[in-house]
Chain A
Amino acid sequence: MDPVSAAAIRSVRFRREREADWRQLEMLVRKSEQKGVRSLGWTEAQRMARLYQQAANSLSVAREISLDKNLLEYLDALVARAYLAVYAPQATVGGVVQKFLASGAPQAFRASLLHIVLAVFCMLLGVAIGYGLYVQDQSWYHVFVPPELAGGRGPGASTETLREGIYGDHDSGGFLGFASFLFSHNTRIAIFVFGLGAFLCLPTVLLTVYNGALLGAFLALHVDRGLGWDIGGWLSIHGVTEIGAICIAAAGGLRLGSAVLFPGQMTRRDALRHQGRDAVKLALIAALMLFAAAILEGFARQTVQDMTLRYTIGWGIGALWLLWLLGVGRGART
């Protein structure tokens, strides 16, 4: 038998015929990685896609016919990188935001109406519990309302102090600080009612009911002192948005939990991912509303003193949210 020349090996010829194309693909991929796919022209982008398909083809053949380890590793890495470049996300940040506002968010909201009704029911149930227990025994107030949120307002405080809390001008300049405190507090609650929903809905329901109870006890305290109408206005101006946000976040949590509880024909993992699509959008709506509530809280709560105006602004903005979530983006769901 004669010595074997390199050209007699099939995989060597295979590589010789294709190497130039691979090198070109390597260059195009590197360019698109460094400067973005947009930096490739029309012809280059088209060429990259075609070369990627050829390289994927080469990889599949090479795995069958070649025992050259370096070649196999190279093709694996090259095709992987080209795949990442060819299938890179095409969305721009601006386009994503626009699509979310114009169709994604309202459609997700309408698809989850059942869960939202459930969440609102939990909240109202909590309010009723908090209110009822306070009427029975005032010391329940301290169970529900943490002292740093109450800010000195409790059954022990005089009616004048409570009135001062509603109409008084808090230490000025601190509004941004107070708003950011409440914002992070409420965001935390929203994140928990949402995120813990995956644990079979239970934490979400409990937390929502607890928040309702907090609100109920707070309301009962003021109604007890004859300040019912006033506390309503004080709460409305930001509370409509804020409590709405917590309910929507809770609805998202319930969707996650129900995916784990009732996966139907899918595996639990798949069901979670499936329900997650709308649930995440609900969480984003809640975040947006919480942000708006923080601004309302910081700027408008103490500066707008007129009761009727407080009600109008609070519920007016609530109506705007509903209008957006129920009205926008009707049509074929994408």
Chain B
Amino acid sequence: MEVTPPEGVPIRFEVASLGARLGAQLLDLVLTLLAIGALVLLLAQLFTFGWWLVGFASLAFFFVRIPYYTITELIWNGATLGKRMLGLQVISAEGRTLSVYAVVARNLTKEAEVFLPILFLLVNVQQDPVSAIVSGLVTLIALIVPMTNRKRQRIGDILAGTVVIRKPVAILLPDAATAPVELESQSFSFQTHQLDHYGAFELQTLEAILRKIERPEAKSATLVREITSIVEAIRLKIGYAEAVNPEDHGRFLSDFYRAQRRHLEARQLFGDRRSDKYHATADESE
């Protein structure tokens, strides 16, 4: 999903899966029930037991549970404790600040949309089949709606204009082009026509392989075989006539990566984006 903040640069977010959201919801339920239970137990210790305690417990069920979601989402920038634990967050679908109204609206509708029908279903399942069926239907609709739209919004999310996303993790690895090179090893250079075969997809696949080689535990026999076959495949494809010694394979790949990347990036600057090795045939078919 893309969100465009006021800066005008679209930001990509990964929409949270329904499973993760269910998990966060269950965590929140457990937390609030624990809090209510602790409160009731404390009161039962302090005062003598009476029917008022049952009344208090059912009131507390409302007055702890309903504000919990709104208040935690306000305090922690759109994440209840359960969402925080699972790395989820509520954001505004329009790329603006998550408004107080949005937080209140999506959590109030959660009561009518999710909790009450399920509660009704459980309470009425034996005595009153008609309202059990009706509440079952409402629950079903509430469950189906987020499955039918691409942003996984439930009715409350649509009303509030919010989306639940997975919080992105930012990891910056060293640039694959600046990997240290063994000075004494032979260096490789390529002709322009040799660099016209591949596109961005192959380049980025090669990037992933270079990162694998850099790791110290990389010297397994399977990886060495894999590298050999890759080098051979590239040589065949680009028509690199000279044979490459096995000990120079790493150097060959990283030299080819740099040359290929500079070439493709330069082409891209001139408006010639090559997404993969089929770019030439794709151009002709247009």
Contact = CB atoms under 8 A, between A and B. Distances in A.
Interface of A: 1-6, 8-12, 15, 19, 22-23, 26, 33, 52-53, 56-57, 59-60, 64-71, 74, 76-81, 83-85, 87-91, 93, 96, 173-181, 183-184, 187-188, 191-192, 194-196, 198, 269, 272-273, 276-277, 280, 283-284
Given A9-B265, A89-B98, A176 B170 contact: no
Contact of A192 (B62, B96, B112): B112
B139 interface: no
A54 to B, nearest CB: 10
Nearest to A64: B268
A5 B258 contact: yes
A334 to B, nearest CB: 12
A77 B176 CA distance: 19
Interface string B76-107: 01100000000001010000111111011100
A223 B185 CA distance: 106
25 contacts: A4-B255, A10-B262, A19-B172, A22-B172, A26-B170, A59-B9, A65-B269, A68-B207, A76-B11, A76-B168, A79-B9, A80-B12, A83-B3, A83-B11, A90-B97, A96-B100, A174-B51, A176-B59, A177-B51, A180-B58, A184-B62, A188-B116, A195-B109, A196-B112, A273-B160
B59 A195 contact: no
Contacts of A276: 105, 159-160
A14 to B, nearest CB: 10
A193 B242 CA distance: 80
A176 B55 contact: yes
Interface stretch (B16-24, B27-35, B187-195, B231-239): B187-195
Contact of A280 (B62, B104, B116, B255): B104
A68 B9 contact: no
A3 B112 contact: no
Contacts of B12: 76, 80
Contacts of B112: 191-192, 194-196
Interface string B205-223: 0011001000000000000
A179 B52 CA distance: 10
Nearest to B96: A87
Contacts, number: 200
B283 interface: no
A27 to B, nearest CB: 11
A246 B133 CA distance: 25
Given A6-B175, A284-B104, 12 more contacts: A1-B191, A9-B262, A26-B170, A56-B5, A57-B9, A67-B261, A70-B172, A79-B11, A84-B78, A96-B74, A178-B55, A181-B55
Contacts of A11: 261, 265
B161 interface: yes
B167 interface: yes
B66 to A, nearest CB: 8
Contacts of A53: 7
Contact of A273 (B104, B161, B167): B161
Interface of B: 3, 5, 7, 9, 11-13, 50-52, 54-56, 58-59, 62, 71, 74-75, 77-78, 89, 91, 96-101, 103-105, 108-109, 111-113, 116, 155, 158-161, 167-173, 175-178, 187-192, 200, 203-204, 207-208, 211, 255, 258-259, 261-262, 264-266, 268-269
B188 A180 contact: no
Contacts of A76: 11-12, 168
B96 A71 contact: no
Contacts of A23: 172
B74 A91 contact: yes
A85 B77 CA distance: 8
Given A9-B261, A79-B11, A173-B51, A84 B89 contact: yes
B101 A3 contact: no
Given A4-B259, A57-B9, A68 B52 contact: no
B187 A3 contact: yes
A2 B191 CA distance: 9
Contact of A91 (B100, B160, B175, B261): B100
Nearest to A176: B55
Nearest to A86: B5
Contact of B203 (A67, A89, A90): A67
Given A70-B173, A84-B89, A180-B58, A89 B97 contact: yes
A183 B59 CA distance: 8
Given A56-B5, A70-B172, A80-B11, A1 B264 contact: no
Contacts of B255: 3-4
A280 B89 CA distance: 22
A188 B61 CA distance: 14
A10 B265 contact: yes
A280 B70 CA distance: 13
A57 B207 CA distance: 24
A126 B24 CA distance: 43
Given A68-B177, A177-B55, A80 B111 contact: no
B249 to A, nearest CB: 15
Contacts of B109: 195
A137 B6 CA distance: 66
Which residue among B58, B173, B265 has the maximum number of chain A CB atoms within 10 Å of its CB?
B265
Contacts of B200: 67
